[in-house]
Amino acid sequence: MKNQPTRRELMKRAAMIAATTVISERANGAPALPARYSPHLRVVDGVQWDKAPCRFCGTGCHVQVGVKDGKVVAIAGDRQAEVNKGLLCVKGYHVGLALYGKDRLTQPLLRQDGKLVPISWKKALDVIADRVQKNPAGFAFYGSGQWTIPEGYAANKFMKGGLSNNHIDPNARLCMASAVTGFLSTYGVDEPAGCYDDLDACDVVVFWGNNPAEMHPVLFSRIVDRRSRGETVRIVDITTRTTRSSGFADDVLLMKPQGDLAIANGLLHLLIARGTYDKEFVEKYCAFRGESDPPSLNGKAISFEDFKREIAEYTPAYVEQLSGVPARKIEELATLFGDRKLKITSLWCMGVNQHTRGTAMNALIHGVHLLSGHFGTPGNAPTSLTGQPSACGTVREVGTLSHALPGGRVVANEKHRRQGEDLWRVPHGRINAKPGYHTVELWRNFSTPTEKGGDIHTIWVQVTNPGQTLPNTNELFYPSRKLKDKFLIVSDVYPTETTLHADLVLPSAMWVEKNGMVGNSERRTQQWFKMVAPPGDARDDCWQIIAVARRLFDRGFAGMKDKDGKFLFAVEENGKEVPIWDYRHYYDVNVDRSLFEEYRPWTRLKHKDLAPYDEYVRAHGLRWPVVQQPDSSWRETKFRFSGFDDPYVAKGKTYDFYHSTSEDGRAQIWFHPYAAPPEAPDKDFPFWLCTGRVLEHWHSGSLTMRIPQLRRAMPQAYAEMHPMDARTLGVGNGERLRIRSRRGELELPVWIGGRGAPPPGTVFVPFFDESLLINRVTLDAHDPFSKQPDYKKCAVALERLSTEAGTP
């Protein structure tokens, strides 16, 4: 053993750890770091290291955070983490810098006479409580897939269990709602069956409108680095523009926008027409489903013969006509899916989800895998990826959606409401049966004058930036800012387009400035401890919710009491209530642990069992269902619905879809016909606009644009186009272009031969840049089931500006 520490060194280190964990961090009344027991904590040369999941995307890499003198000073990829095995991407390596932008929000600000003026927390809490009491039914919460699990759980309980109000929806509605409806309509229960282990085992990986080389780089490397080890993995890239991922692909299927519907149907048709589908798998474990009239999430049962007849239309020639992809390439891909010896994994994210037929498209990809039997063994999986660290853990599992309750329950179901009321210990009837407004509805309502029926008077936004990320902001966001009785509360860490227009701004703690838990794309729940103090008066989002709840409780607001009259968020220690609403005492106990243990019983209904909090302290995340073994250890599940791994599969069964919507253990293979996009290029608006992301920046860029290494590498948004189009328009590299849709316009520099290569007739613009807001141009048309808008295709006109015109 090299570097074996001596006994004296071990004792010295132990003493240092003991000393540093009890040191009070600040003198001005903020709580000390919690006394804690992290088995991963180590202190060497004055640097205190501990594990945390990365703050950014849904991959869920673990980082080691190095803290010295109360500040983060270094980051290292965590070698013990199964997700990333020590590797990170450039955002992850620089995640520590996200805390230290100079313009951190450090005190509550209230708009007075048009200006944001510093106020005390006490005043801020009173203002919010006043807004709630004005009319609790018109108070809404707009949250995030970046909410930690305890934060989302507290917000959900505050709204649905406290205010009897379901107007709570997250930004994840814009991000993965269609993935949820795809899983629900196929398996009857949300979230992927497979996991990242499939990426190590597959022979073929299919990217459906996905660019993981930039957006999920660690997973992408997990695939392509297999080639460096001499393994073979064939990459098929189905895309509307060639990207860095295409550069590594063996086959690139360049399609017209919306062509994915035709391609998936074409594959289903060929599998049946050629007889290469998996007859045994389909006979034993699948049922067929078609769209009902009126349309519904679960459609109607159809026979295999019906399915075969309907799908027969999607011949390779017809698919070529709809998608622009040569028939021969469709046939080749169908050959791969028809080969049972190959192991095939599909990955998708925003291309499929941000789609007016997103639910259909998700279901079709599942259908291709089910029909071909590429399901349920390592390497064979349809796996949807997420873009936020806890889109799964918080939004989908805790159910911070306007129709949902924790653990896969829905407010419309009376049994679910009763279970919820019992778990929250609130009187029966407390939870409102009517779903609240989904994101687009919510913001449209907020921007509608009260006298014209806009009944939402206040929205509290946490951990997201809707002023930049909502679609069609000219209609959904800005009008509310001119209405006097519409009040916008925003909790954030930096000034953003949203705080700029807010009435009350609350400074938040972020990432390792607070305790947290999140859930990644592969059902992995992760935990970390607070490591540094937040700046100034910035405080935990979860505390903010609890403090407002307590203010209402103190004012006698009935909803903040449980059925015994106790505070809804009461935390007791040794039989005494700890005043966690007083921030000085917030870390006297581990509130995360307390909320998580309260939430755990919710997770059993849909067999998404979570382990006790302390198991997550020990592990680098665990994939649910986590089930206790006879030896009392906790075992995670990698492959859901597969008898060899999933403890909930009936004994002796190879596969068991135990939440089947047809209630017979079968998954549904859907027929969803092609449908034209809601808006397509025409004479007046002749180009497609696609929006998206770049490697360096994460979402609205409020964190990554403050990290010099990332911002220098990608300083601003741009319009990417084909050189032929540029020539026709007469614009050169760096020259300015006006992009105009029926909804808004934006001026941007052109970048030809840049990061991606759109085909002629398409322009691509990333949305990270707060000074070049492309969502003034995009469309708010959305999927009928998931209510997720389509940011990937709308019609625009392009116009050359003189090179002198305008500055960014």
Site for other proteins in 49-88 (CB under 8 A): 49, 51, 64, 66, 68, 71-80, 86-88
236-244, 478-486, 544-552, 685-693 -> range binding other proteins (CB under 8 A): 236-244
> Does 633 help bind other proteins (rule: CB under 8 A)?
no
Phi-psi map region of 292: left, alpha, beta (phi>0 left; psi -120 to 50 alpha): beta
Task: Select which of 54, 176, 202, 542 is catalytic.
Answer: 176
CA angle 217, 220, 224 (to 5 degrees): 135
Least distance from other proteins to the Cβ atom of residue 51, Å: 8
Distance CA 532, CA 339 (A): 53
Task: Select which of 64, 388, 468, 527 is catalytic.
Answer: 388
Strand 381-384 relative to strand 234-239, pairing:
unpaired
Binders in 135-164 for other proteins, by CB under 8 A: none
Phi, psi at residue 413, to the nearest 5°? -95, 120
| Pick 280 or 332: Cβ nearer other proteins | 332
> Does 97 help bind other proteins (rule: CB under 8 A)?
yes
Binders in 238-257 for other proteins, by CB under 8 A: 242-244, 246-252, 254
What strand order describes the sheet that includes 204-208?
Answer: 251-254, 234-239, 204-208, 344-348, 381-384
> Does 213 help bind other proteins (rule: CB under 8 A)?
yes
| Pick 213 or 381: Cβ nearer other proteins | 213
Binders in 252-291 for other proteins, by CB under 8 A: 252, 254
> Does 295 help bind other proteins (rule: CB under 8 A)?
no
323-331, 347-355, 399-407, 678-686 -> range binding other proteins (CB under 8 A): 323-331
Nearest to 13 by CA among 36, 41, 50: 41
In 312-399, alpha helices (H): 316-323, 327-338, 350-353, 358-371
Sequential DSSP letters for 688-752: EEEEE--TT--TT-TTGGGSHHHHHHS-S--EEE-HHHHHHHT--TT-EEEEE-SS-EEEEEEEE
> Does 716 help bind other proteins (rule: CB under 8 A)?
yes
CB atoms within 10 A of CB 578: 17
> Does 209 help bind other proteins (rule: CB under 8 A)?
no
Catalytic status, residue 563: no
Catalytic status, residue 175: yes
> Does 634 help bind other proteins (rule: CB under 8 A)?
no
Task: Select which of 61, 89, 159, 175 is catalytic.
Answer: 175
> Does 780 help bind other proteins (rule: CB under 8 A)?
no
13-21, 523-531, 673-681, 780-788 -> range binding other proteins (CB under 8 A): 13-21
Distance CA 808, CA 572 (A): 54
Enter the tokens of residue 690. 């696609």
Of positions 771, 803, 805, 806, contacts other proteins by CB under 8 A: 771
| Pick 88 or 798: Cβ nearer other proteins | 88
Nearest to 373 by CA among 670, 667, 672: 667
> What is the identity of the amino acid at 211?
N
Least distance from other proteins to the Cβ atom of residue 701, Å: 11
Of positions 295, 427, 536, 715, contacts other proteins by CB under 8 A: 715
> Does 500 help bind other proteins (rule: CB under 8 A)?
no
Interior/surface letters 683-707, b for 16+ CB within 10 angstroms, e for the rest? eebebbbbbbbbbbbbbbbbbbbbb
> What is the identity of the amino acid at 535?
P
229-237, 306-314, 430-438, 477-485 -> range binding other proteins (CB under 8 A): 229-237
CB atoms within 10 A of CB 74: 14
Binders in 396-425 for other proteins, by CB under 8 A: none
User: Omega of the bond prior to 192 within 30 degrees of 0, cis?
Assistant: no
4-12, 271-279, 510-518, 577-585 -> range binding other proteins (CB under 8 A): 4-12
Binders in 658-687 for other proteins, by CB under 8 A: none
Distance CA 348, CA 622 (A): 23
Residue 345 DSSP one-character state: E
Of positions 12, 22, 24, 39, contacts other proteins by CB under 8 A: 39
Distance CA 199, CA 215 (A): 16
CA distances from 772 to 448, 775, 808 (A): 25, 9, 7
> Does 714 help bind other proteins (rule: CB under 8 A)?
yes
> Does 804 help bind other proteins (rule: CB under 8 A)?
no
> What is the identity of the amino acid at 381?
A
Least distance from other proteins to the Cβ atom of residue 250, Å: 6
| Pick 591 or 739: Cβ nearer other proteins | 739
Distance CA 397, CA 431 (A): 18
Of positions 453, 682, 712, 802, contacts other proteins by CB under 8 A: 712
Least distance from other proteins to the Cβ atom of residue 71, Å: 7
Phi-psi map region of 46: left, alpha, beta (phi>0 left; psi -120 to 50 alpha): left
Of positions 25, 225, 280, 283, contacts other proteins by CB under 8 A: 225
Binders in 610-629 for other proteins, by CB under 8 A: 618
Binders in 733-762 for other proteins, by CB under 8 A: 733-734, 749-751, 753-757, 759-760
Enter the tokens of residue 607. 């067999």
Least distance from other proteins to the Cβ atom of residue 162, Å: 37
Contact 608, 625 (CB under 8 A): yes
> Does 320 help bind other proteins (rule: CB under 8 A)?
yes
| Pick 214 or 780: Cβ nearer other proteins | 214
Catalytic status, residue 668: no
| Pick 94 or 623: Cβ nearer other proteins | 94
Task: Select which of 54, 350, 392, 531 is catalytic.
Answer: 350
| Pick 404 or 710: Cβ nearer other proteins | 710
Least distance from other proteins to the Cβ atom of residue 187, Å: 31
> What is the identity of the amino acid at 443?
W
> Does 108 help bind other proteins (rule: CB under 8 A)?
no
Phi-psi map region of 514: left, alpha, beta (phi>0 left; psi -120 to 50 alpha): beta
Distance CA 399, CA 392 (A): 9
Least distance from other proteins to the Cβ atom of residue 59, Å: 12
96-104, 138-146, 257-265, 604-612 -> range binding other proteins (CB under 8 A): 96-104
> What is the identity of the amino acid at 405?
L
Least distance from other proteins to the Cβ atom of residue 797, Å: 22
Distance CA 716, CA 697 (A): 10
> Does 17 help bind other proteins (rule: CB under 8 A)?
yes
Least distance from other proteins to the Cβ atom of residue 263, Å: 14
Distance CA 509, CA 540 (A): 5
| Pick 2 or 452: Cβ nearer other proteins | 2
7-15, 149-157, 591-599, 601-609 -> range binding other proteins (CB under 8 A): 7-15
Enter the tokens of residue 802. 């003189």
105-113, 231-239, 397-405, 467-475 -> range binding other proteins (CB under 8 A): 231-239
Nearest to 640 by CA among 607, 615, 670: 607
Contact 380, 642 (CB under 8 A): no
Task: Select which of 57, 61, 91, 215 is catalytic.
Answer: 91
Strand, helix or coil for residue 306: helix
Catalytic status, residue 350: yes
Sequential DSSP letters for 470-510: SSSHHHHTGGGGG-TT-EEEEEESS--HHHHT-SEEEEB--
Task: Select which of 66, 152, 387, 393 is catalytic.
Answer: 387
Would you please indicate which residues are annotated as catalytic (active-site) residues?
A: 91, 175-176, 350, 387-388
